[in-house]
Amino acid sequence: MASLSYRSAIKIAAREMRSSRGKFFFVVLSVAIGVAALTGVRGFSSSFRATLLLRARSIMAADVSARMFEQPTPEQQKGLDAIAAEGVEMTPITELLSMASSPKTLDPLLVSIKAVDPAMYPFYGTVELAPAAALKNVLKPDTVVVADDLLVRLHLKVGDELKIGTRQFRIASVVVNEPDRLSGNFAAGPRVLISREGLDASGLLAPGSHAGQRYLFKLPARRDGSAIPDSAVSAFSERLEKLLPEARVIDYRETNPALTRGLDRATSLLSLMSLVALVLGAIGVGMAMRAHLQQRLDTIAIMKSLGARSGQIMKIYLLQTLLLGLLGGVLGVALGVGVQMAFPHFLAKLLQMQTEVHLQAQTVLIGLGAGVLTTLLFTLPPLLDIRGVRPILILRRAVEENDDPFVTAALRKLRKNLAQIGAALLILAGLAGIAATLSDSATVGKVFSLGLVAVLAVLVASSALVLAGLRRFLERTRLSLPSPMRHGLANLYRPGNPSAALLAALGLGVMQIMAVYFVQQSVVRELHISSAPNLPNVFLIDITPDEINGVRTLIKAQPSVTAPAEMMPVVSSRIIDIDGVPANQARLKNFPKRMLQSVSLTWSADLPPGTSAVAGKWWQKDEKQPVVAVSQRDAERLGVKVGSHITFAAQDQRFTAKVVALTKADGQHAYSRASFILPQTALAGLPVVWYGGVHADPARVGELQRALYRAYPTVTVINVAQALETVRSVVIQITYVIQFLAAFSIFAGILILASSIAGTRYRRIKEVVVLKTLGATRRQIATIFSIEFAVLGLVAGVVGIIFANVIAKVLLHRMDVVFHWQWGWSFVALLATAALTVTTGWVASHRILGQKPLEVLRDE
């Protein structure tokens, strides 16, 4: 045969596609659903994540914040000026304590002053005022904005005068919520917002004043309008840490632990969903294309008899595969974009949340490219089999060869065919590369890429063992089993049966679908805990030992309080040395040495609420030795670990405590700000001040403030209810979207698996013809096939669910989420897999049962 041009090959491939539309339907469907799920989930998750990150930035009012405890040096100021020259917006915030008084009462009151530039602050979010107004329109050089509790304590109202320093200021409005309230100081005294001009005029910034300086930074937006990548934020934070070694630098992802964990876990889970959609689509493609090429063996043999070379035939089917992948990819991208556009409207009505959709060409191209690439990769092994087709053996292939799919065939031919070895390696390398490209989470990408290889190998081995076990079982019980059951089980390993293919494909599909379900269930459970409606949202400061019992009683009697108060004792101390190194010589990481002169110690017999030990072990309740648990973050900054020794000095006492545990707090409880926790005996006899946390109805916090002021005027109330409600609403939205997208991914995966099962109908046609010719009734054939389908589903379900639990446990461990075995849902999934296999098999195959053998053969 003369050389075959690409034009001729495309014509032959297209002609065959037109004549076999039904067979190619499953290929196109698998590619389309996989690409649609990939494009839709990835595209929407990208838009949703951009919305979440904007909300996270709004909670800190900036991209990055740097807190300093002294003015920058000339060299540091040059560095900050250079940063500003690069397009990074920067605004300073000065925070300090001062006395304020009113001409009406003349009673001085300690207040927490926050000086801002209202023209720039905040970069993200808004300062909520009552009456509603824009901060830049209200805050002038001669006005201030104050918290409601200041009005209560000084018996003032909006419009009255307030003296701060040497100047009188008019109270212009009441501040309801500041976007960066959680990242600012929880200082004693009501909040007062003042302009920087007003602060300069007040005379409070005299030399030696203890004013804290916090810089907010906003990175320049990207040209394409997409969100600033985390890598850019991290790089900028590292640059600031080097420029300001004594500053505490945090970015918007560290504003609140619950929000940080929610963002990280949502990113990991959404990446997992994208990868699962990709591989499930590839399973469907591999199954359908393998079945098609096996059906075309007669045609291939005839073409070879007429002189066609293997390379020419492979060219035809390679181009055919490319056309199918392209067709399915384009259809899938169209469906995926439609899904991506529909999600926000659906969620806006169902969940009352708005998400802007940004159609990204990159997402569309990745979806299309992944669809075509996986189609080519998973069709490569059966294409290579074309080289081994010989016309003389075509009539004997059904009994001489075990017609296994690409994975089993690749393993079976390892000893015979180097090309198959290369194809298998290429598939795994291609999937790993796609996984690395698609995954926004390094953890998910790494676990997925490495786990896929191991799981595929174990699934193939499990399939072979199960089939071998069934054969041995039938050999021993053949005569005692009913005929339909005997034939149904024997069908699993008959020549030409793709049972091993279905077992591997179904097992892998079930594993991935259930892994998504198990992971999202655990993640959502953790997020619900961190967004519980009764967590502390009002904090109390400076409660004396004489007042603590009375404060507890008063809080318990308040109707606005919805949960018991959490109280934490605090002892002021300083650090003398760390592991024998004096404090002034200690090598610290972004922890100002002056902070060592003022640390807070607390005690607790048990692990406090919301706190977990990530290293070491908590002490017994009767512990007498001076031991200490250090927060993981502060341990990293101080350079201490389990087994280190820290010497504290409080009043005239000095003691050395051994670090026995590192802790991690959820940021939602009173003890979340505790860096050093000791047994009570270690702090016995030292002066103590109590801090507290309580949850109150956000709309009725004022009632609690007034009641506490009347009974205990020296107790400071820090109201962060509105700020925490913002965090809580974001976390709740994360849980809803995770559940919704997981459900969509699982549904798409079920459709792909169903199409994979249905694609095997063409392999059963000749068997039905033979059975009918031998006199089998439709009921007998239906029973035989039902048993075969049910066993396939049950075996694949058992293998897939076991591995799903293993994969979920590994991923959740990497994500720092507690894993729970879900036996009930595993059993339901097992039954559902068997039902799906039986139902899909019969939906695709029932037509041939009602036809005569000759009619079926003519149609085929």
- Tell me: the pLDDT tens digits for 617-633? 898 888 888 899 998 88
Give the pLDDT of residue 850: 62
Give the pLDDT of residue 846: 63
Q: Which of 129-133, 336-340, 411-415 has the lowest mean pLDDT?
A: 411-415
Q: Which of 60-74, 167-181, 266-280 has the lowest mean pLDDT?
A: 266-280
pLDDT tens readout for residues 178-219: 887 766 555 567 889 999 999 888 888 766 566 778 899 998
Give the three-state DSSP class for 110.
strand
Give the pLDDT of residue 194: 93
Give the pLDDT of residue 335: 82
Give the pLDDT of residue 143: 93
Residue 397 has pLDDT above 60, yes or no: no
Mean pLDDT calculated for residue range 727-739: 74
Token pair for 36: 């649609």
Of the pLDDT bands very low, low, confident and very high (cuts 50, 70, 90), residue 660 is very high
833 vs 46: which has the higher pLDDT? 833
How large is the greatest C-alpha to C-alpha distance in the chain, in angstroms?
110
Give the pLDDT of residue 224: 60
Give the pLDDT of residue 410: 46
Cβ-proximal residues to 455 (8 Å cutoff; 6+ apart), any chain: 508, 511, 803, 807
Q: Please, what is the average pLDDT of the chain?
A: 77
Give the pLDDT of residue 677: 92
Of the pLDDT bands very low, low, confident and very high (cuts 50, 70, 90), residue 403 is very low
Give the pLDDT of residue 139: 92
Q: What are phi and psi of 452, to 5 degrees?
A: -60, -40
Distance CA 569, CA 576 (A): 22
Mean pLDDT calculated for residue range 51-72: 79
pLDDT tens readout for residues 421-431: 676 677 767 76
Residue 780 has pLDDT above 60, yes or no: yes
466 vs 692: which has the higher pLDDT? 692
Question: Taking the C-alpha atoms of 801, 805, 808 and 812 in order, what is their torsion angle to the nearest 10 degrees?
Answer: 160
Residue 401 has pLDDT above 50, yes or no: no
Residue 741 has pLDDT above 90, yes or no: no
Give the pLDDT of residue 783: 77
Q: Are 749 and 283 in contact (CB under 8 A)?
A: no
Give the pLDDT of residue 396: 52
Residue 148 has pLDDT above 60, yes or no: yes
Percent above pLDDT 70 for the chain: 72
pTM, 2 dp: 0.65
Q: Are 198 and 167 in contact (CB under 8 A)?
A: yes
Give the pLDDT of residue 827: 87
Name the residue with tokens 């939906």.
Answer: 843
Q: Are 273 and 516 in contact (CB under 8 A)?
A: yes
Name the residue with tokens 């006005």.
Answer: 143
Q: Highest-confidence range of 237-251, 754-768, 783-797, by mean pLDDT?
A: 237-251
Give the pLDDT of residue 400: 44
Q: Are 364 and 334 in contact (CB under 8 A)?
A: no
Token pair for 688: 């103590």
How far does Cα 219 stand from its chain's mean position? 24
Give the pLDDT of residue 358: 61
Select from 571, 572, 574, 628 the least CA-distant residue to 596: 574
Give the pLDDT of residue 398: 45
Q: Are 601 and 648 in contact (CB under 8 A)?
A: yes
Select from 338, 271, 230, 329 the least CA-distant residue to 42: 271
Residue 575 has pLDDT above 80, yes or no: yes
Distance CA 616, CA 308 (A): 71
Percent above pLDDT 90 for the chain: 6
334 vs 269: which has the higher pLDDT? 334
- DSSP for 118-175 reads TTT--SSS--EEES---HHHH--TTEEEE-HHHHHHHT--TT-EEEETTEEEEEEEEE
Of the pLDDT bands very low, low, confident and very high (cuts 50, 70, 90), residue 145 is very high
Mean pLDDT calculated for residue range 19-24: 64
Of the pLDDT bands very low, low, confident and very high (cuts 50, 70, 90), residue 407 is very low
Residue 720 has pLDDT above 70, yes or no: yes
Helices (H), 20-89: 21-60, 74-85
Of the pLDDT bands very low, low, confident and very high (cuts 50, 70, 90), residue 405 is very low
Select from 520, 509, 641, 639 the least CA-distant residue to 583: 639
Q: Highest-confidence range of 255-259, 284-288, 636-640, 657-661, by mean pLDDT?
A: 657-661
Distance CA 841, CA 850 (A): 15
Select from 246, 197, 230 the least CA-distant residue to 75: 246
744 vs 61: which has the higher pLDDT? 61
* Cα-only R_g, the chain: 34
